[in-house]
Structure 1
Amino acid sequence: AALPPAVACAPGPAVARAPGRPPSRTAVTSGGGTAPARPRTSPPWNGARVRRTVWLVLALALVVVSAVRSGVSWQALTRAADSFLPTLGDFLPPGTAGTGGTLLDDLWVTLQISLAGTLIGLVPAVLLGVLAAGNVVGSPRVARFFRTVILCVRGVPELILAIVLVVVTGLGPVAGALALGLGSIGLLGKLVADSLEEVEPGPVRALLATGARRRQVFFASVLPRAWPAVVGHVLYQLDVNIRSATLLGIVGAGGIGYDLLNAARVLEFGVVTTVVLMVLAVVLLVEGLAVWVRKVYA
């Protein structure tokens, strides 16, 4: 007897599939049957992947060529490694000979320079960071423009700024504070912009859907979520400025860096060790403060 049409056309036994799971791919075998296809384990070689690979190869080639053309020899590195431990003994124990007991005063001057530089660059950096965040301004062109401004400011090192400002304002802490302030705009502005753009977009879209303005969304949703990261970035900038202020003292910006330069010139390596340990203690103190602030605002 002929089977009913519904039975004749009925497919084989259905395979249960979890909701939302895509159907498994199958491949035809030589015997005419089907076998599960091997899943792809790497992304396809499309145009974007080819471009990324080309840029990576060019960057690695540039690093290799720069290392070769710099003239650094393995013999020189070997000699430096052999003389490291004997030379390290010249820096021990720490001492204060020839400083006249002014190291603490000069360290306080360095702290004042770093604090002043951080405060000088704080307001412009926050403003530029807000304007460079695409989810805040809502215009990709405006965000890219202010990102470019921040990048241009970051392109000039603080040491060069200090040399120029020493010529303009003369020797002293003023040149160092201004140099650190300008340098803080570039780094802190980028960190603020990145923190604002990393905020979860869901609440922002919900507020925009209710008719809220960009200013209201920023103060009600974006800033409260990004505030702990912004505070941490400000303390990180202070940490960076403390170390930079030590180097700026070498070019005449005042502070403990001047004592470091004089100690190295007269071969008082014990004083060099003391200065390094003092700066290290201050940096660790600021880092501990940053960790505590993150815990409080978390």
Structure 2
Amino acid sequence: MAVGVAAHAAGPADVDAGDHAVGRPALTAPPAPAGSMEGPVVTGVLEWYTNQADFEAAAAARGKVNKAVETFEESTQQPNGNGSLNDPLSPGVPNGPFPNGLEGAPNLRVQSNLSGGNPVTPNPRGVDGLVNLSAGFGGAVSDLVMPNFFADSLDLQFSGGNKTAVGGNTVEYTNGGPLGVDIRVYDTSNAYLGQMHFSSNIQGTFFAGVISDVPIGRINVYSPNNAGEGLDNIQLWYTDVQESHCLYRNKRVKAQACNTCPQFTHECDISTPAVCGSVKDCRKRIKQVMACPDNPDGWCKVLHLRCDCK
């Protein structure tokens, strides 16, 4: 087994620098400790934060909603323990010490990436690709999920196409070397959006947050220090997409033994469940036969014409 977090439990002698991935791309911003940032840093379509309160306030001010937080505390791992699990760790799928899979964020999938610091595409290790550390192990203060092999990086993948802000506490399990992680962001088509270097430690006392002008599909966390890396207390902020629906008006009404049929109207106020991008997506007309409200033997025939999409 290659050197990893679980294997490293025996002590520093297990560390082999040869397992460390090399050739990571240059950072888009200077790799100074992120804790020195004063206010947000903007790189392209991304806005980076190290202050959690500032991040949350900025996300909320832009109409984003924090609908999910993944803490990994649903793990059944005993205190001061560690255990391997397979890629990926997903909601609702039993995996090692996660009998119900992830429970905090239904649109999150966590997996290792064999490509380390050059994670152009998802590249999971598979068997034993991840490790769960519980509180007390190596100085951890809560349950953490990291790659099980130091050479690998960690991918956070998001479904739904509407995550536009993500934040969490950077965590890193090291053999005593320097600390700090690179966070790379990709859109829903896996196009690279940018990256930033953040301070980190095993206790998770540092924060990293990113707000994007476009939906985020994947975030990669990588330690250039031959260490285990991750993100804890992961916040997923959504941009709510309001669906538009087809609207109709009554064009023609025919009554049979009924005095309470809907009346002909020019008002465009009859809503339907049909979702649309424009009024052309709606059926031009809908014929409907309705029971008469005041006579069980009567009926109403109504012709609805499309009139709007909103």
TM-score by length of 1: 0.23
Q: Of Structure 1 and Structure 2, which has the larger fraction of its residues in helix?
A: 1
Which structure has the higher relative contact order (CA within 8 Å, separation 6+)?
1
Q: Of Structure 1 and Structure 2, which has the larger fraction of its residues in strand?
A: 2
Q: Which has the larger radius of gyration?
A: 1
